[in-house]
Chain A
Amino acid sequence: MRSAPLVERGAPGGVGGAVRGRPRVRRGLSRSSPRPYRGGGGWAPWLYLAPALVVLGGLLLYPIYQLGLISLFEYTQAQVSGGEPATFQGVGNYAELFGDAEFWRVLLATVVFAAACVVSTLAVGCALAVLLTRVRAVPRLALMLAALGAWATPAITGSTVWLLLFDPDFGPVNRILGLGDHSWTYGRYSAFFLVLLEVVWCSFPFVMVTVYAGIRSVPSEVLEAAALDGASQWRIWRSVLAPMLRPILVVVTIQSIIWDFKVFTQIYVMTGGGGIAGQNLVLNVYAYQKAFASSQYSLGSAIGVVMLVILLVITLVYLRLLRRQGEEL
């Protein structure tokens, strides 16, 4: 017997979300029972949230505010050491940045490079997740362990190992491919390609494991029925699995975009700080070089703001996608 009716269902008129918005559909009996601490709670949720809010406010929100502020001032070595007062520039730094052809080149390279990384990572991750469901335990375990190994490899060690693999003098790859002493990091595109390979290598495991976990949760009868109806593997993937996995695919896509847009270590280490004459710069490394290598903190901050805006736009698109799927927050 449920003794729940003894408890009031929260104040009439309701504090908070239970009343606002569309009525929530509950599945199952236990879900429809009154919940004593919902709606009420008073200060309790805020107490639980306090540590998170303090940390995020102090180390995320406030730095973002400061980032915006610095980007509006003249802030170089002289101001940092206190020799000269910081002068307000308005949008001056942005004007300088947008007037610089190099910025646009780096921005384009960042977007194209990140997009290529995302698409390759997703393609490889999904394909291997499907492959995992098609094989017996031993090959599955082998692939899973290898992927976990790649995932566990820190970005900096992954970068140096891939450099050794593709080293023109001592690396095995050129020998296997018969490329002689071809230098992968010399040309702009081959350097980007090498970094892309490393990024895909260390980030496809997250996609593979997540999508595999998702496929496993799809009832096998559904897939068997589709197979019995004569659907091809591709058809099963496109018409049955992909729609059911859409929430998962959205999550891994967004995570990949976030991670690949922010690649720093790989580019920095593998191309020696942005490649010959800056040919392999992406926004992150560009901002770092501006700020810490040439002490132009305000320009570096302005680049940071641009990155922030781009990623926020992507976030808004993501939120709209979630809304359209009727996801309850």
Chain B
Amino acid sequence: MNSPGFVRRPWRLAAEASALVIAAVVAFPLYWMVLSAFKPAGEIESSEPRPWTLAPTLDSFRRVFGQQEFGRYFANSLVVACAVVVASALIAFLAATAVTRFRFRFRTTLLIMFLVAQMVPVEALTIPLFFQLRDLGQLNTLGALILPHIAFSLPFAIWMLRGFVKAVPEALEEAAYLDGASRSRFLWQILFPLVFPGLVATSVFSFISAWNDFLFAKSFIISDTSQSTLPMALLVFYKPEDPDWGGVMAASTVMTVPVLVFFVLVQRRLVSGLGGAVKD
């Protein structure tokens, strides 16, 4: 499919033109976000918005970083997202290995349970989790954000990784054992590096779910705001009646850039990973 040669020329040119236009439309909100973050306040609140600015300024960013503890919120978000990514990748790797490389009782039942678990509306569990975390004394801690997200990203991660673990030839496993490798040596030194691209693809999903989290941060971090995360920092500037658009857009830019960087870094692996996972 790499050679679109069988498509007639005028059609291909039309397709390419529309692809570029669509790309521009899709990218436009992001462009507007960054642009507005650099616009001086007067220009954002102008009734004739211009798609450029002649006087770019860092005022909005200064306001954002001048906000109490913004840096701390950023660090909190990063800690939460990284903890969720690492923990769910490791746990999902072990679980995916178990359900693909072993035959045991209840294997199919477990697989179905993992599938069903994906459908559980996380948001509906906010209420019981609130009480559970309160009883454990975990409200207002980063743990309250990390733990639930590990649980919620696991089922999908296990399902996605299953395809990657399956794709590793079993002959390799036999060869490793015949060469005297222990099971854990095979697991970490052979299997783990081989399914690493799959782990990268799955971690994109767990990273997003943790980094995006708004509901849990809003519900579980109620009194100790030093434990809050970026979405809450952004809301400081967003007052529905009178939003500080410059501040909102600067905070949004700061919040989006790390994810963008992460996506661009893993882009190739993500695309091939999705192909691998769904082809199965």
Q: Which residues of A contact B (CB under 8 A)?
A: 3-4, 7, 10, 15-18, 30-31, 33, 35-39, 41, 44-46, 48-49, 51-52, 55-56, 58-60, 62-64, 66-67, 70, 80, 128, 131-136, 139-140, 142-158, 160-165, 167, 169-172, 175, 201, 209-210, 212-218, 220, 223-224, 227-228, 247-248, 251, 258, 261-262, 264-265, 268-269, 272, 284, 287-288, 291-292, 297, 300-301, 303-305, 307-308, 311-312, 314-315, 318-319, 329
Complex Cα distance, B233 from A46, in Å, reads 42
Q: Could you tell me if B49 and A170 are in contact, using CB atoms closer than 8 angstroms?
A: yes
Residues of B within 8 A of A169 (CB): 45, 47
| B275 within 8 Å of A (CB atoms) | yes
- Give A111 to B112 CA distance when docked, in angstroms: 25
Q: Which of A35, A209, A216, A308 contacts B170 (CB 8 A)?
A: A35
Q: Other CB < 8 Å A-B pairs besides A132-B19, A315-B119, 17 of them? A: A33-B174, A45-B104, A51-B95, A66-B132, A70-B127, A128-B22, A139-B20, A143-B26, A147-B26, A152-B260, A154-B211, A154-B212, A156-B214, A156-B231, A201-B29, A214-B275, A287-B127
| Closest partner residue, chain A, to B132 (CB atom) | A63
**Chain B contact residue count (CB 8 A cutoff):** 116
Query: B26 contacts which of A48, A150, A329 (Cβ < 8 Å)?
Result: A150
CA distance A215 to B278 in the complex (A): 12
CA distance A145 to B119 in the complex (A): 29
Q: Tell me the B residues contacting A by CB distance below 8 Å.
A: 1-4, 6-7, 11-12, 15-16, 18-20, 22-24, 26-30, 32-33, 36, 44-49, 51, 90-92, 94-95, 97-99, 101-105, 107-108, 110-112, 115-129, 131-132, 147-148, 150-152, 154-155, 158, 169-171, 173-174, 177-178, 183, 208, 211-212, 214-215, 219, 230-231, 234-235, 238, 240, 243, 245, 248-249, 251-252, 255-256, 259-260, 262-264, 267, 270-272, 274-275, 278-280
Residues of A near B263 (CB, < 8 A) are 148-149, 151-152
Please determine whether B91 and A55 come into contact, CB atoms closer than 8 angstroms: yes
Among the listed A16, A248, A300, which residue makes an inter-chain contact with B107, where contact means beta carbons less than 8 Å apart?
A16
Secondary structure at chain B's binding surface: helix, strand, loop or mixed?
A: helix
The smallest beta-carbon distance between B54 and chain A, in angstroms, is 17
